[in-house]
Amino acid sequence: MSEVKMSSLFELESIEKGLFRGQSWDLGFRALFGGQVLGQALAAAHNTVEDDRVVHSFHTYFLLPGDAKKPVVYDVEVVRDGRSFSARRVKAIQDGRNIFYMTASFQTVEGGMTHQYADMPDVPDPESLDSDITFYEKNYDKLSTSMQEALSYHKPIDIRTVDAANSFKGQAREPVRHVWLKVRDEMDDNLGLHQATLAYASDYHFLSTALQPHGIAVSDKGLRMATIDHAMWFHRPVNLNDWLLYAMDSPFSGNSRGIVKGQIFNRAGELIATTMQEGMIRKKDK
């Protein structure tokens, strides 16, 4: 059993109508983990729509770095409630400042034309791979003090990277990454919870995929990375009690920015979600 449960991160306090407070997890990074704000903002928006509406997409901008030692307040604006679609705008606030914006769209479940023009990559099964957390536990002495103290907060999501790069040693490789992920402690059959959790997990290892062609280790002390925007589309129901494959690649980097895109498949090969992110990447000369 892990020390903390994934679902607890999305147990938001309702302050008043449309206003929620979420507690923060300190993951040992320089700033608040962007995935937390993605997942909690989506959970806050979900709390304001009818039960028959499911999020199908969101688009976000990260404006300021968050403080992982402080809670985050989420202000949800009801933009529209139509017969089939609902739109919400969410503002994340810390110390009276807007650190993040999300626009999310929800829809009732409908039938219609269906196709999938995306094949699931042929990669080793997750059962044949070590959990990423095992690597960090074996290299505990190489971690920063803040990362050592935060290691337990990385355990609720079991992440297993195919052909994982060494986080402490730069090595040039193609900008492609495949990651299996699931929750360690089974969650309730609540689609909104699973979608918020997948939004959280979608930020893991994502932007760093753009580092791979440049042979820069993610632990490089001269490296500065920050998410600028993150978008996600949900195609099919999410079940993170079973393994999902997150296939990522980076088609371009330049002008101190990198862009990454991802496709998330279930074990049956069905495309569950699509992601896109752009972020700042700067490397200081030693």
Q: Which residues does the annotation mark as catalytic? A: 203, 227, 277
Segment (H or E) for 149: helix 145-150
By C-alpha distance, which of 245, 247, 246, 240 is closest to 268? 245
Backbone angles phi, psi at 131, to 5 degrees: -70, 140
Measured between alpha carbons, how far apart are the two ends of the chain, in Å?
Answer: 42
Strand residues in the chain grouped as ranges (E): 13-16, 19-22, 53-62, 72-81, 85-94, 97-108, 157-161, 176-183, 223-234, 244-254, 257-266, 271-283
Grouping H, G, I as helix, E, B as strand and the rest as coil, residue 39 is helix
CA–CA distances in Å: residue 150 to residues 25, 100, 153: 8, 23, 6
**Residue 255 φ/ψ region, left for φ over 0, alpha for ψ in the -120 to 50 degree band, beta for the rest:** left
